[in-house]
Structure 1
Amino acid sequence: MKRTLAALPVVILAATMLVGCSTTDAASGCEPVAPGSASKAVKLEGKFGEQLKLTSKTPIDSVDLQRSVAIEGEGEQLTDTDMVKAHMSMFTGSDGTQVASEDALLSLDEQSMAPWVIQSLKCSSEGDRVVTTAPAATIFPQGGQDFGVEASDSVLVVLDLKQIVEPRAVGEEQELPEGFPEVSLGKDGDPTITIPEGVTPSGKPEIATRIKGDGPVVKAGDNVSVQYRGVIWRTGETFDSSWDRGSIAPFNTNGVIGGFSDALVGQTVGSQVVSIVPAGEAQGGYPEDKLVEMGHQKDDTMVFVLDIVDASTPPKQ
């Protein structure tokens, strides 16, 4: 069975799996990775941003990381703070087998992206089709056997840079129901959550939309990218936050607690959602013993503020 990018996101994208490398500020005149005979030899069929077919003669052997721009886009050049939604296609160099094809949210952030991703994106613009070829160890430093990639192989990666996206909720502000926590936003969109004085949570899951985005509707089983902050109602203290970690959280809606998943499914990309989650799996929260293990009380209610940055439906297996 072909594995998807979502199945092993750390292996594919995460900087922690590779030695860091420096990047050049795109806004101040960068120097892209040079193309080579391998990256130039890649030929493809298929529409931009959709399923692609490799039509090059194989094998294609890349002794180092090479980068070519097969299609030049007309959009803005990426800066160090931009995030871009890309369609990523991956092939083996030995025989051209496609090992992955799906959307991913990428950036030039050294803390969250692998060096090869940054090297591929450097100097790129919205609308570009970037072709990267590299030895398997560069893309899969921990080994690519789960993707059917041998250590001696080369890997071809095609990034169709479809759209620069906002790393926060963007839309029409909505009024929260009475009794909900107050949410105020910093300049970057980071929420401050204030628990209302003298109000006891209802003991039932509650969800409300604070900002209504105009993107596609999130479906059950979608891969999503979310900015979020979670606080304990009793204390108002943050216990988890993508904002504090400095990187957007990618996950599948089927792989998180119900209070998280229920707050996302049916909402639109670009929205900000407030989710009040009582203790207990039946209520969509953590089990009581898990809350105690985390240092909270077994009946603590959690409050999440979630910004839906992106969503995409993974390919069928």
Structure 2
Amino acid sequence: MRIRPLAALTLAAVAAVLLAGCTSASPSSTPTATAGSDLCASAVAAGDVVEGITVSGEVGESATAEFTAPLEVSTLERTVAIEGDGAQIADGDYVSYALAVFDATTGEELQSGGFGDAPLPAMPIGVGTGPDQFFGCATAGSRIVLAVPASSSGGAQVYVIDVLDVTAADAWCAVTEPGDDFASVEFSADGVPTVTIPDADAPEGVQLEVLTEGDGDVVEEGDNVTVDYAGVKWSDGSVFDSSWDRGEPATFATTGVVTGFQRALEGQKVGSTVLVSMAPACGYGEAGSSEHELAGETLVFVVNIISTEPAAG
């Protein structure tokens, strides 16, 4: 099915290296917002190796790292090369960022993404999730430099991370009511939906219409839900995935899907059918920020909520 785990959706392929140096669990759930000071303590300490790296280029536009290669990196080290004057990251906030990765042995740039007009898909930063070691409680506009030791996935590396924007967890992809030019849906006698996309600009953020309100339990954050759904691209109206077509509903945790889909489920009642649109930032990322085939697409889902169960534990 196309609804993949959160970790595979919120990190572009170029950013997968962020987790390679982490020993903590991957961010498979949305953290609960608490004090930013906890994240400050999560950040790894500076050291002589990372302090000897010089970075240049405008924050958010380009990044170059200069150092005497090969670097001997025995432990993870972090420093904030540029302190931004924007909002400080708090536990659970979503962070838009850019990333450049350099080979610590040769100095060669290995890959980069998020600079210019295509930030990488925003990622929730939570205490104990792994990326908190990198981001800490940095402020928007900051440039972070890390010296990362070799791991099973590759040799030692240097990361340059630009913190582009910080959005509070409850504000990220918050649901709004649809405007006048919204998608519509019709159901066949067998209950199979057909979604029609209007000749209009794609909506911003996450917009949701409750087609039918159920009377069952309310879906809570992290619940395991069973749903029937169909997904359509706003750009051309084509269906890219449908549990109705497969003849089998899907079951997954609300925290294991893209943010827009999560927002469409949590707070709804079992038995409800909803129609939701989500901009790329709330789905699979902007075009150029991810290799996912749906990157850059505004998506529309019609979803029937069949059941919900609290997550185990």
- Maintained 8 Å contact 2:88/2:166: no
Distance across 2 between alignment mates of 1:212 and 1:316? 21
Give the AA of the match of 1:206.
T
Give the AA of the match of 1:97.
E
Distance across 1 between alignment mates of 2:209 and 2:112? 32
Distance across 1 between alignment mates of 2:289 and 2:250? 35
The answer as to 2:160 corresponding to 1:158 is yes
What aligned pairs does 1:247-266 form with structure 2 within 5 A after superposition? 259-260=231-232, 262-263=233-234, 265=235
| Alignment partner of 1:6 out of 9, 12, 16 | 12
Give the AA of the match of 1:30.
C
Counterpart for residue 97 of structure 2: 86
The answer as to 2:88 corresponding to 1:77 is yes
Question: Structure 2 unaligned runs (5+)?
Answer: 1-10, 115-119, 252-272, 292-313
User: Residues 210 and 18 of structure 1: is their aligned pair in 2 closer, same or farther, counting only changes over 3 Å?
Assistant: farther
- Maintained 8 Å contact 2:145/2:158: yes
Distance across 2 between alignment mates of 1:63 and 1:37? 11
TM-score under structure 2 normalisation? 0.56
Question: Structure 1 unaligned runs (5+)?
Answer: 138-142, 182-194, 216-226, 247-256, 267-276, 296-301
The answer as to 2:196 corresponding to 1:206 is yes
Distance across 2 between alignment mates of 1:259 and 1:29? 36
Distance across 1 between alignment mates of 2:220 and 2:12? 18
How far does residue 314 in structure 1 lie from its aligned partner after superposition?
2.4
**Deviations along 1:215-239, whole A, 9 cap, x unmatched?**
8xxxxxxxxxxx79999x899799x
| Alignment partner of 2:247 out of 285, 291, 312 | 291
**Deviations along 1:35-55, whole A, 9 cap, x unmatched?**
111111221232211232222
How far does residue 312 in structure 1 lie from its aligned partner after superposition?
3.0
Give the AA of the match of 2:179.
Q
What aligned pairs does 1:5-44 form with structure 2 within 5 A after superposition? 6-7=12-13, 12-13=18-19, 18-20=23-25, 25-27=35-37, 30-31=40-41, 32-44=43-55
TM-score under structure 1 normalisation? 0.56
Counterpart for residue 139 of structure 2: 125
Q: Which one is further off, 102-111 or 89-98?
A: 102-111
Counterpart for residue 124 of structure 2: 107
Distance across 2 between alignment mates of 1:228 and 1:171? 5
Counterpart for residue 305 of structure 1: 276
1:205 aligned counterpart, secondary structure: strand
What aligned pairs does 1:184-195 form with structure 2 within 5 A after superposition? none
Counterpart for residue 192 of structure 1: none
Distance across 2 between alignment mates of 1:245 and 1:86? 29
